[in-house]
Structure 1
């Protein structure tokens, strides 16, 4: 496979810098000390003097989806919900079809938010009244199939295995009896999608995946991150105790965990052409899936 190394967000570097420069000019912000913070999916850039984080949505992102995210976060801010606040300007800023948003910067200690610290804001999210905007329905199976349909670098036999496995899990999902009320879910709650406030608590961030659905999907995502990324059972149990529901003791857990892990694998498989350094990790995850290894420690991508 031939890889094309490009900048975070699927842009080439000159394009990313041009979008950043123009968006900051429209927002009245100085980008002279811009520094990349994260970039596996979107380009997340710190303007240190401005104490502002700029997020340039990945190439191909629907600008209406970004506008909906902004509207949802503004709703959360009006409620006093624990979220990273938006910078007080009109947004998203659209540059040549690319959506850019601006967020208040929260300086972080070297250690990530713990799973237990996720429990309080997640429970608050799951019990929110219906927001005054329409959110999409959560659908992991559809996301898995979209990723597989656009992944061409994997061998045909491997793609056939992953598609067959998705079909099996889709059938198993029809028999799951959910225990918690349907509501707003974050979609990808994990240690890196929350930030320390500096007061011993955490706020949620990265709202691109917010949907309506079953809270069990959020809870199983936290469990997977604790198990797969080395945080450990004690770390997860502290979360379950604080939240008040242990997903691993629920009958639907094996099916939801398998589906969520498959989505994490296939999403990263789709991104390999833009992030070639992730190919080896994706391959080892697939090999572990084929050998039914539920304890393999994954490397963060």
Structure 2
């Protein structure tokens, strides 16, 4: 059997290259020889002839959401916040209904970003003043429900299991008292959503920025350390630098389980355009059935 052709942000390579070429031409950049860096969510492409990374929003993304992300990052840049910088061109650029943004390329060393290096910019984010634009309210429960509904490639019994788990955790969430007031949260802070920018580290990938409780961000850091082989040797230094250990909070288990469920269901929704991820998603779901919180996950 012939393996399905890979897609980038939900596009075929031909579609993706067409949008890339037209978007670059619109702002005076050269797309010849561009290299795809990532494609599971958005299509992220590094230009060969310009120090620029181009992000083509995932198929179905709303222009309003991409435009809000651009305005938010421009605000961060004006504040001097450690963020991956936008390239200085008018954006977003829309080609055939698909929004494209342009970012300054930051060369990366071989050594990956550590959890501890995320602590300082994440703490700064959680203590920002109110942004001058409207940000959506963080709603993990709704996001999970939408992903389960869209994960039509999974068997009905699996979707029922996921829905019942969501229902139980939602009831438990209602009884939680958060420690911190609502603030700006990144939504998916992790090692791959940060970049070296000597001598510091900057945050990137702002598509999930919302107003919410920082406990969601802190639980995400813990999950990535535990699930993706970074381990306690990275998590403990993060705690020491940030100044708070989310695992000591009584509500942690519920937040952890909801956050992991969202990560799994988001990837389940994408199986149709990334069929090579199915076995890993199903393995993670089996881990949920067994209540296995120590299973290592493979990066998708």
After TM superposition, the score normalised by the length of structure 2 is: 0.98
Q: Secondary structure at the match of 1:10?
A: coil
2:261 maps to what in 1? 262
Cα distance, 1:33 vs structure 2 = 2.4
Q: Secondary structure at the match of 1:268?
A: helix
CA contact (8 A) 1:5 1:274 kept: no
Q: Secondary structure at the match of 2:25?
A: helix
- In the alignment, the residues of structure 2 paired with residue 193 and residue 275 of structure 1 have an alpha-carbon distance, to the nearest angstrom, of 20
CA contact (8 A) 1:187 1:217 kept: yes
* Alignment gaps of 5+ in structure 2: none
1:161-217 residue CA offsets vs partner (Å, 9 max, x unmatched): 110000000000001111112100000000000000121x20000000000000000
- In the alignment, the residues of structure 2 paired with residue 3 and residue 266 of structure 1 have an alpha-carbon distance, to the nearest angstrom, of 23
Cα distance, 1:6 vs structure 2 = 4.3
2:133 maps to what in 1? 133
Cα distance, 1:7 vs structure 2 = 2.1
Q: How does 1:1-301 map to 2 (within 5 A)?
A: 5-199=5-199, 201-301=200-300
After TM superposition, the score normalised by the length of structure 1 is: 0.97
- In the alignment, the residues of structure 2 paired with residue 188 and residue 109 of structure 1 have an alpha-carbon distance, to the nearest angstrom, of 22
Q: Secondary structure at the match of 2:129?
A: coil
Q: Secondary structure at the match of 2:94?
A: strand
* Alignment gaps of 5+ in structure 1: none
- In the alignment, the residues of structure 2 paired with residue 148 and residue 7 of structure 1 have an alpha-carbon distance, to the nearest angstrom, of 21
Cα distance, 1:15 vs structure 2 = 1.2
1:202-261 residue CA offsets vs partner (Å, 9 max, x unmatched): 000000000000000000000000000000012111111100110000111000000000
- In the alignment, the residues of structure 1 paired with residue 233 and residue 142 of structure 2 have an alpha-carbon distance, to the nearest angstrom, of 33
Q: Secondary structure at the match of 1:61?
A: coil
Q: Secondary structure at the match of 1:99?
A: strand
- In the alignment, the residues of structure 2 paired with residue 180 and residue 4 of structure 1 have an alpha-carbon distance, to the nearest angstrom, of 46
CA contact (8 A) 2:32 2:48 kept: no
- In the alignment, the residues of structure 1 paired with residue 187 and residue 243 of structure 2 have an alpha-carbon distance, to the nearest angstrom, of 19
Runs of 4+ with >4 A deviation:
none
- In the alignment, the residues of structure 2 paired with residue 3 and residue 92 of structure 1 have an alpha-carbon distance, to the nearest angstrom, of 34
Aligned residues: 299
- In the alignment, the residues of structure 2 paired with residue 21 and residue 157 of structure 1 have an alpha-carbon distance, to the nearest angstrom, of 43
CA RMSD of aligned residues (A): 1.1
